[in-house]
Amino acid sequence: MFRQELTGAWDTGKRDLYEEAAALGGLTPFMAAPREGRSTNPVGLMIDPDLFEVVRVTDHDLPWKPIHHVEVRLRGCPRPLHLASAHLCHFDPDLRATEARRLTCLADYRRTALIGMDANSYAHRTTDEIASPIDWNQVEDAVHYQHRTIERHGWRVNGTRPSEILTGGKGIFTDLAHYAATVLDQTEALSPTASLRRTDQGPPQRIDVMMGTPDLASALIGFEVVSDAEVRAVTDHALLIARFDLAELRRILASAH
């Protein structure tokens, strides 16, 4: 379970973090340490200890938020799985590009990796997206305009650099929602994920994503975007659920290379 904005969860001995993990069925929680003078909403993730054994935990330090990286092994499988929770910088498209390039390192040396993140940016492929396009001339929030657009050929356009870096070109990672929509025929996987409640930032967009190295795609059997009233009561972001075939996942992680 990938978590963003674990606000206050580090306080009082991480009491809130452990309470949440216990309420979710006894998961083992991890989170990045807050940094003085930076974001006070660190990321984290939780794993099922019956399924995974922990190999290593690393914070990849970056100027705004660290990337939290937990290396695990699916029990009985020699090949490790690298899990990363990330929340890309909300105010700087250039820093988001740097953060995305840091995430590419998880896939280096033919590693198998799975990322859950708030990208604060948009998919570079637009053909299959089902969110309404943003007309930036109609966006009331001027700060949001500065945070989310980049200049190309003299025009301000959607910031898409993280998507281009991570899933464009040779495809270091596979956008799991896009795979579910285009390969598994689950078109609702590309539903908007944020902003679900604000009306001054244009129509809701798909900025929350899960990505896996291409070898993981064959194990994906479902991808769901949950944005019902219960979710909207506590957040303006949708809940993403990716489902994998465990037998296929074991096959992928069965060989150490």
Identify the pLDDT of residue 257.
Answer: 63
CB-CB contact of 209 with 119 (8 Å): yes
199 falls in which pLDDT band (50, 70, 90)?
confident
Does residue 256 register a pLDDT over 70?
no
Q: What is the DSSP string of 178-233?
A: HHHHHTS--GGGG---B-SS-SSS-S-B--EEEEE-GGGGGGEEEEEEE--HHHHT
Write down the mean pLDDT value for the chain.
Answer: 96
Whose structure tokens read 């859950």? 116
pLDDT per residue as tens digits for the range 5-18: 999 999 999 999 99
Model pLDDT, residue 197: 87
Neighbours of 132 (CB within 10 A): 11
For the entire predicted model, the pTM comes to: 0.96
For residue 113, what is the domain's CATH number? Answer: 3.60.10.10
Domain count, the chain: 1
Phi and psi at 115, nearest 5°, equal: -120, 135
- 236 backbone dihedrals φ, ψ, rounded to 5°: -100, 15
The secondary structure of the chain as a DSSP string is: -EE---TTTTHHHHHHHHHHHHHTTSPEEEEPPP-TTS-S---EEEE-TTTEEEEEEEEE--SS-PEEEEEEEETT-SS-EEEEEEE--SS-HHHHHHHHHHHHGGGGGG-EEEEEEE-SS--S--SS--SPPP-GGG---HHHHHHHEEEETTEEEE--HHHHHHHSTT-SSEEHHHHHHHTS--GGGG---B-SS-SSS-S-B--EEEEE-GGGGGGEEEEEEE--HHHHTT-SSPEEEEEE-HHHHHHHTSS--
Contact (CB, 8 A) for 244 and 221: yes
Please check whether residue 257 lies inside any domain of the structure: no
Domain containing residue 157: 2-252
Residue 177 belongs to some domain of the structure:
yes
**Would you say residue 26 lies in a domain?**
yes
Kind of pairing between the strands at 174-175 and 208-212: antiparallel
- Cβ(83)–Cβ(47) under 8 Å? yes
- pLDDT tens digit string along 202-240? 999 999 999 999 999 999 999 999 999 999 999 999 999
pLDDT surpassing 90 at residue 120: yes
